Homo-oligomer: A and B are copies of this chain.
Amino acid sequence: GTRIRRRWLARLNPPQLIAVSFAVTILIGAGLFLLPISLEPGQTLRPVQALFMATSAVCVTGLAVVDPGTTFSTFGEVVLLGLIQIGGLGLITLGTLFALALRRRVGVTDRIQVAQQVSALELGGVVRLVRTIVLSSVLVELAGTVVLSAVFVPAEGLGRGLYFALFHSVSAFNNAGFSLYATGLTGFVTNPVINIFVPLLIVLGGMGFLVQLNVLAHLRDRRRARLSANSKLSLTMMGALLLIGTLGFALTEWNNPSTLGTLSVGNKLLASWFQGVTPRTAGFNTLDYSTMGFVTLFMTILLMFIGANPGSTGGGIKTNTFYVMMASAWGMVRGRSDTTLFRRRIDTTTILRAMTVGLLSLGLVNLGFLLLLLLNTNKDILFLQLFFETVSAFATVGLSMNTTPLLNPDQEVVLIFLMFLGRIGPLTFAVAFSRPDSRRLVRYPAEHDILIG
């Protein structure tokens, strides 16, 4: 049991496993998109565009260089949906597996805690874990389909309506943000079902699998299954960011005639809630981002960069990473040697890991943005538009100020890399740190005399 599982995990170099499996899936997807059967009659797709759409789907980003609804045939759309599903499930599974593998290296007390928390998994191992993830995901997606068909069946007819409900449910739960409508969900800005249940699917998908397991176990037996520090932090951060996103959007767009201005107070609040949820890297929108104010857009950029909870289908540097990073930095300024959280000290390795994920992500965003600027040939594209697009690609959000179709092929390639690295990066970084440093035989003496600040 445990021995075999460990050997299996050890043989595959985790970062390589993630990168290769994602790349292969993307290439297969791009190949399928290039088949004539994938396209509507009269539509064409360049290879780079096919690669872009496949990357965007597998990395559950949602940025689109062509409109999926008008370009792809039903077969093409099903391929897109399949890639989203594989990408999303792959992320939850890999994220959960590596989290468990990392935890197994730590002390005995922690192992007991993990065992309590995911007792079901310890028995059946990896196969059972994957089965649990797949089953629970499909269950949520089917429930979502049933609810959303209440909107799409009246709008599109029975067969097409059910298909639309399934597509948008899967797209929402996996935080993919692809829509079969050319203008996204802007036609449903005042629809209460869309405004309540699409965000609910997004939040469930972006919550993190271990958090969900922990919460379910806790609800069943509050004494034996306590909420872990990871769950408490993830839930608190998620709640805080949802609140900030919703209130921030309402306050900054309340009177903008292009967005909330013309809506009733109730609908203003509904739309603010939707646009407050979507930067948790979902990518759906019911309002046009190219008409929003600077403050809203910059706030959205910050929320997108922070992203969703770890071990979920959402992207970004992750809520926990952001909290640990900022709390430790602030604590150090206050002269505190320890950063504490729920009466626990966050250990130095976790702090360094969080800061590293944050800094390298920033480096990647800056580099990608610089390349997009360098390669830019369209003088009508604004600085802010490209910056928004960069962060949206890195954090696999999929929101756009309608910039994606204006980019040239070179810029499309940059975005493909940004989506790919933004997706596997933070996950890979987190795993890479845990490798023992066996190559270095000599340890140099410490240098304390580098001036900082």
Contacts and interface: CB of A to CB of B under 8 A. Distances in A.
A320 B229 CA distance: 35
Interface in A304-335: 309-311, 317-318, 320-321, 324-326, 328-330, 332-335
Interface stretch (A29-37, A63-71, A103-111, A135-143): A103-111
A10 interface: no
B452 A324 contact: yes
Contact of A453 (B310, B334, B336): B310
Given A353-B332, A384-B383, A452 B321 contact: yes
B429 A453 contact: yes
A255 interface: no
A435 interface: yes
Contacts of A356: 328-329, 332-333, 355
B355 A440 contact: no
Given A99-B451, A341-B450, A359-B329, A352 B353 contact: no
A374 B349 CA distance: 37
A345 B336 CA distance: 24
Given A352-B352, A433-B332, A453 B340 contact: no
A290 interface: no
Contacts of A340: 444
Nearest to A451: B310
A452 B435 contact: no
Contact of A376 (B294, B350, B369): B294
A363 B362 CA distance: 12
B350 A450 contact: yes
A181 to B, nearest CB: 29
A449 B110 contact: yes
* Max chain B Cβ within 10 angstroms of own Cβ: one of A356, A426, A448: A448
A130 to B, nearest CB: 19
B443 A370 contact: no
A229 B358 CA distance: 27
Contact of A336 (B99, B298, B353, B437): B437
* Max chain B Cβ within 10 angstroms of own Cβ: one of A317, A329, A373: A329
A343 interface: yes
A99 B382 CA distance: 44
Nearest to A310: B451
Copies of this protein, total: 2
A374 B348 CA distance: 37
A351 interface: yes
Interface string A425-453: 11111101101110010011111111111
Given A366-B302, A452-B357, A345 B429 contact: no
* Max chain B Cβ within 10 angstroms of own Cβ: one of A337, A362, A453: A453
A299 interface: yes
Contacts of A113: 449
Given A383-B383, A430-B453, A437-B337, A447 B352 contact: no
Instruction: Pick the 5 closest A-B CB pairs, nearest first.
Output: A344-B447, A426-B453, A430-B453, A310-B451, A335-B435
Given A114-B449, A353-B452, A430-B451, 20 more contacts: A103-B448, A106-B449, A110-B448, A229-B447, A294-B383, A294-B386, A310-B452, A328-B352, A332-B353, A332-B429, A336-B440, A337-B437, A337-B440, A341-B447, A344-B444, A345-B447, A346-B447, A348-B348, A426-B452, A426-B453
